Amino acid sequence: MNTLQAGDNAPRFSLPDQNNEMVSLADFINKKRVLVYFYPKAMTPGCTVQAQGLRDSKAQLEQLNTVVFGISPDEVKRLDKFCLRDELNFSLLSDVDHNVADQFGVWGLKKFMGREYDGIHRLSFLIGLDGKVEKVFNKFKTKNHHDVVLAAIAELT
């Protein structure tokens, strides 16, 4: 796993969102900062808490000219259910083949309860107006992820 670092160019991805509409990072370059957060599976407890925190922080993120995209290997149909169930106000993107996760360096070996498997590591990337990674978030708890992100963006602004 070779995770992107601050200063690296962010991969120019296009993925389907919960409505099966294509979302492209290129559409936001020179317009908004983009928070791309990778999470393992929609509607699981940790992923739900993380998404709800970002949902509830939308106004502050907008004031900081930042848009949010959550990326997981879930199918579009599951993402739609997650958005509806939790009234999420940002796009969730489906990376079923984990191609984008590979490009960001967040797909790799995981261990849970003595079992090893490949999956998404919970990391977030703040992409600046220039399309470069401004900050990598790799130390946070799902319940305070939004606070860590907001503090970092405010510091960079």
Task: Indicate the angle between helix axes 45-56 and 145-156, nearest 10 degrees.
Answer: 40
Residue 59 neighbours by CB under 8 Å, 6+ apart: none
Give yes or no: 83 in active site.
Answer: no
**Where on the phi/psi map is residue 103: left (φ > 0), alpha (ψ -120 to 50), or beta?**
alpha
Distance CA 129, CA 93 (A): 20
Catalytic residue, candidates 47, 68, 100, 106: 47
List the one residue out of 32, 27, 45, 126 whose CA is nearest residue 86. 45
List the one residue out of 33, 25, 17 whose CA is nearest residue 157. 33
Bridge partners, 69 (sequence order):
36, 91
Q: Among all residues, which ones are annotated catalytic?
A: 47
